[in-house]
Structure 1
Amino acid sequence: MKEVVNKEILKWLDVEIIYPILDSSWVSPVQCVSKKGGVTVVSNDNNGLIPTPRKDNFPLPFIDQMLDRLARKAFYYFLNRFSGYNQIAIALNDKEKTTFTCPYGAFAFR
């Protein structure tokens, strides 16, 4: 999980979505959650951690079904996890409130 967090932090720093912050009274720890249909880690009887596959409760439709649904529509949109959720304007005096901490430091969203 540390490797995943590090990769995301570096990517967000590179495109200036986040910035390092030294002092904030609004700090939340990072919570890692596995994707639906991915692998989750569970404890076994010996207190060891083992990866376990998860069932996809929300499978994507087949591409031909999607194209049939979109073909006659006037409007449609697409949001991806990287750019879609990171386009919310934050007031300057509220940026500190977005501070989160992880093993690599404390960061806030721009």
Structure 2
Amino acid sequence: MNQAEAKYTTTEKEMLAVVYAFGNFHSYLIMNKSIVYTDHSALKYLFAKKDAKARLLRWILLLQKFDFKVIDTRGAENYAADHLSRLENPYENIFYPKEINETFPLESLNK
């Protein structure tokens, strides 16, 4: 998530997660029925909303090509997702440069 996306509302972040997942698994989900389990009930009503922000409308248009339904689950019933959503990654913004090995031992057998 970049800096701009970090400032999204909770509803927008939930929708972004759905858009990201469907975008990454597009080839698996395009011709199959899918179920999105969420503890954020507002997502269910976003798909029927006509006066949403342009960003949300664009995401809704992207998701219309998929056959899926949104099912609400309470956070208490959804242990795995609830736990994973609260994990923090301490290495998220740390870059460890690695040295590039420019010698190719298999290509220089006679040397």
TM-score (norm 1): 0.22
Compare CA radii of gyration and give the structure with the larger one. 2
Instruction: Please state which structure has a larger fraction of its residues in strand.
Output: 1
TM-score between the two structures when normalised by the length of structure 2? 0.22
The structure with the largest helix share of the pair is 2
